[in-house]
Amino acid sequence: MELTQYLLDLSGIGRNRLQVRWVSAAEGQLFAEYVTEVSDITQKLGPFDPDKFELPLAAVERTLNSARIRWLLGLTKQITEQGNVYNEKLKKEDFKKMLHRAAEEEYQKALIMQVLEERPLSVKEMAEKTGLAVYTVSLRLNELERCNQAGLKQYSGNAPIFMGM
Amino acid sequence: MNDWEPKITTFLCNWCSYGAADLAGVSRFQYPPNFRVIRVPCSGRVGPKFILAAFRHGSDGVWVSG
């Protein structure tokens, strides 16, 4: 939940569009209050345009499906409470920071993969489409290439064109 | 702007919040009508996919409650 909200922030959708509230079956009054509260928050945020956020939404989903994030999430308890194979334990805040860093990288990779799915592109075109910096794109692309998720397709003049695999 | 009503998708747990929503109705508390309720057997079942799908289908907010 927390990670999904973080990714919504990253993608420019904003974490406040996703709310979590716990209500028991005996708390009708509380429920009515929360309904009003959530409704007010969303009213303030204004309408959400899914067409404009199609790429970020797809990238968020891809990120949450990525092996790295799923591994990390699955290991949360083990790493923060029991320690890893070297018996090192991470503090909860440190783990969260690490998870966020990983999520950001995976999100950038997901954006790249998502735009490459349409057609092969040069680094500059990718940067334009995803809104990432050219340097960030080349870093992530390098990682993608190492994992055989993207590769060189051809040269157009001097500019290499990459494709998703 | 003021006559715009947000569309909010809510995932309510059958045993907790759905009961609460029922109770709120029975006890006639006033609350805004811009919610679309989806009852799930347990809010633990709600994954990121559900939430993203809700956004993709044009809801302005998502609320998970258990």
Among B49, B58, B55, B11, smallest CA distance to A61 is for: B49
Are A25 and B19 spatial neighbours (Cβ–Cβ below 8 Å)? yes
Domain ranges of chain A: 2-45
Report CB contact under 8 Å: A30, B8. Answer: no
Look at residue B2 in the predicted model and tell me its pLDDT: 62
Determine contact: B64 vs chain A, CB below 8 A.
yes
Phi, psi for A163 (deg, rounded to 5): -135, 160
Report CB contact under 8 Å: A19, B58. Answer: no
- Considering only the beta carbons, identify the residue of B22, B29, B48 that sits closest to A4: B48
Residues 6 or more apart in contact with residue A115 via CB below 8 angstroms: A55, A121, A126, A129, A130
- For chain B, first and last CA: distance in Å? 32
Look at residue B4 in the predicted model and tell me its pLDDT: 82
Is the pLDDT reported for residue A115 higher than 90?
yes
Tens of pLDDT, residues A16-60: 999 999 999 888 889 999 999 999 999 999 899 999 999 999 999
Q: A23, A33, A107: which to substitute to probe chain B, counting the most B Cβ within 10 Å?
A: A23
Q: How far is A123 from chain B (nearest CA, A)?
A: 28
Are A17 and A39 spatial neighbours (Cβ–Cβ below 8 Å)? no
Alpha-carbon distance of A143 to A67, in angstroms, equals: 14
- A83 pLDDT tier (thresholds 50, 70, 90): confident
Report CB contact under 8 Å: B31, A45. Answer: no
- Considering only the beta carbons, identify the residue of B4, B62, B63 that sits closest to A47: B4
Prediction pTM value: 0.88
Strands B61-65 and A18-21: parallel
ipTM of the complex: 0.86
Among A99, A16, A9, A25, smallest CA distance to A60 is for: A9
